[in-house]
Amino acid sequence: MQGSSHDDVRRHNLSVVLRLVHRSGAASRSQLTRVTGLNRSTIAALVAELAERGLVVEREPSSTNQVGRPSPIVCVSEQVVALAVNPEIDAVTIGIVGLDGQVHRRVRYPTDQSPSVLEAVNIAAAVIDGMRGELTAKFRVVGIGVAVPGLVRAHDGLVRHAPHLGWVDEPLAEMLEAATGYPVLAANDASLGAMAERFFGAGKGITDLIYLNGGASGIGGGMIVGGAPAGGIAGYAGEFGHTRVSASDRVDSAGLRGTLEAEVTRRELLEVLGLAGADADELEQALLAATAPEVRAEVNRQIDHLAVALAGAINILNPQLVVLGGFLAALLAVDPQRLRTAVASHSLDAAFGSVRLSAAELGSNLLMIGAAELAFEGLLDDPAVLPPVRPAVVPAEAPTASGAESA
């Protein structure tokens, strides 16, 4: 990322600096100077403005043998957060996620059946209301990001089709914004997962990756191509779950036969394990601990079908990395060699030779971090939208506890 020292692009330069410390971690002023190409005085002024707006803080560096005065370390403020929401067929999950990628709180609200859009909004709003005291006392909330297991229209957050939830043309973002008072953005869950892994997980430093997520609502995916998310013209790209992998009569949520989503399912893994439910981490541990032959047979069947879809994606997109999340990561964990061998058998040698298969590193927090990243995007584009933090003025004749105004 290259900046400019011209006054008329100050907002752009603020964005450059904030994105760097947000996505690459804490950095010294001297490092920011080197990476952006801006001079030291410009970096100092930009960091000072970001600090005034409560977006970054500076701390003294740890002891060093470097000659001369060490450069202060710039890191994002822990007080700036976004709210994340992920509706699923068996639960609505709500989280508080910091600008540093830390998940401060994650609440999973189970449901007896797939919630309607109104029920999901009401659940999310009620949980957020229960967090208001903590949010007001400790954080500055920039908005809400929603990870939806379905097709979401990018520009307004309209859920065009979430088949497992039974949602069609539902104005989810608009409804949640009205219920909470926070600005809301929504996008496909797997696309947000790809973005989260690219910046905070297994995909750090990778410019071309494919992410596939397996959840209660089926299988979706996202792509990073040449360092940029590839969402298609309306944001619907990455539906790897509907790739045909067999000649069977099994149908997926869209009514298509023999697809990855029809053959590779979380439900069948839970059934063979005798479990009523489990999150991704719990399912992985159960599969690793299982010794029954019927469990291994089901795992092998699903791995072989997954390999067909992965090989097709690798042959077409030639990625550096394939990241598997949700219950797909559990399949990889149980038998990584079988999956890799099966993928290789369906792939072009040249394409397969340059790709690596990896489990998602963010675990159960992945969609919380991805949804929050969606909410942070406007702030990262223009940090000046957040007003400066100004301390409360306390009259000298009426001493009281000092504090800060809510921004």
Q: What is the CATH number of the domain that holds 117?
A: 3.30.420.40
Residue 405 lies in a domain: no
Does residue 186 sit in the same domain as residue 41? no
Does residue 166 sit in the same domain as residue 301? no
Does residue 112 sit in the same domain as residue 171? yes
Does residue 227 sit in the same domain as residue 250? yes
Compute the distance between CA of residue 264 and CA of residue 339 in angstroms, rounded to an integer: 13
**What pLDDT, on a 0 to 100 scale, did the predictor assign at position 387?**
87
Residue 50 lies in a domain: yes
**What pLDDT, on a 0 to 100 scale, did the predictor assign at position 258?**
96
Instruction: Confirm if 203 and 323 have CB atoms less than 8 A apart.
Output: yes
Residue 220 lies in a domain: yes
The amino acid at 217: S
**What pLDDT, on a 0 to 100 scale, did the predictor assign at position 163?**
86
Does residue 206 sit in the same domain as residue 346? yes
Compute the distance between CA of residue 108 and CA of residue 130 in angstroms, rounded to an integer: 13
Compute the distance between CA of residue 81 and CA of residue 97 in angstroms, rounded to an integer: 5
Compute the distance between CA of residue 244 and CA of residue 46 in angstroms, rounded to an integer: 51
Does residue 379 sit in the same domain as residue 259? no
pTM for the predicted model, two decimal places? 0.81
Burial tier of 90 (Cβ tally within 10 Å: 0-12, 13-18, 19+): middle
68-123 pLDDT tens trace:
567 889 999 999 999 999 999 989 999 999 999 999 999 999 999 999 999 999 99
Residue 404 lies in a domain: no
**What pLDDT, on a 0 to 100 scale, did the predictor assign at position 111?**
94
Q: Of 76, 103, 130, which closes a domain?
A: 76
Does residue 206 sit in the same domain as residue 354? yes
Tens of pLDDT, residue by residue, the chain (407 residues): 565 556 568 899 999 999 999 998 999 999 999 999 999 999 999 999 999 999 999 988 875 555 556 788 999 999 999 999 999 998 999 999 999 999 999 999 999 999 999 999 999 999 999 999 999 999 999 999 999 998 898 889 999 999 889 999 999 999 999 999 999 999 989 889 899 999 999 998 899 999 998 987 789 889 999 988 888 887 778 889 999 999 999 999 888 999 999 999 999 999 999 998 887 888 999 999 999 999 999 999 999 999 999 999 999 999 999 999 989 999 999 999 999 999 999 999 999 999 999 999 998 898 999 999 999 999 999 999 888 875 433 344 443 333 333 33
Residue 30 lies in a domain: yes
**What pLDDT, on a 0 to 100 scale, did the predictor assign at position 69?**
66
Residue 292 lies in a domain: yes
Does residue 212 sit in the same domain as residue 345? yes
Domain count, the chain: 3
Does residue 271 sit in the same domain as residue 346? yes
| CATH code assigned at 19 | 1.10.10.10
What's the domain range around 212? 202-359
**What pLDDT, on a 0 to 100 scale, did the predictor assign at position 321?**
96
Q: Of 76, 106, 126, which closes a domain?
A: 76
Residue 343 lies in a domain: yes
**What pLDDT, on a 0 to 100 scale, did the predictor assign at position 19?**
95
Does residue 207 sit in the same domain as residue 345? yes
Does residue 161 sit in the same domain as residue 248? no
Instruction: Confirm if 59 and 75 have CB atoms less than 8 A apart.
Output: yes
Residue 401 lies in a domain: no
Burial tier of 55 (Cβ tally within 10 Å: 0-12, 13-18, 19+): buried
Pairing of strands 167-170, 159-162: antiparallel
**What pLDDT, on a 0 to 100 scale, did the predictor assign at position 399?**
38
Instruction: Confirm if 241 and 235 have CB atoms less than 8 A apart.
Output: no
Does residue 165 sit in the same domain as residue 110? yes
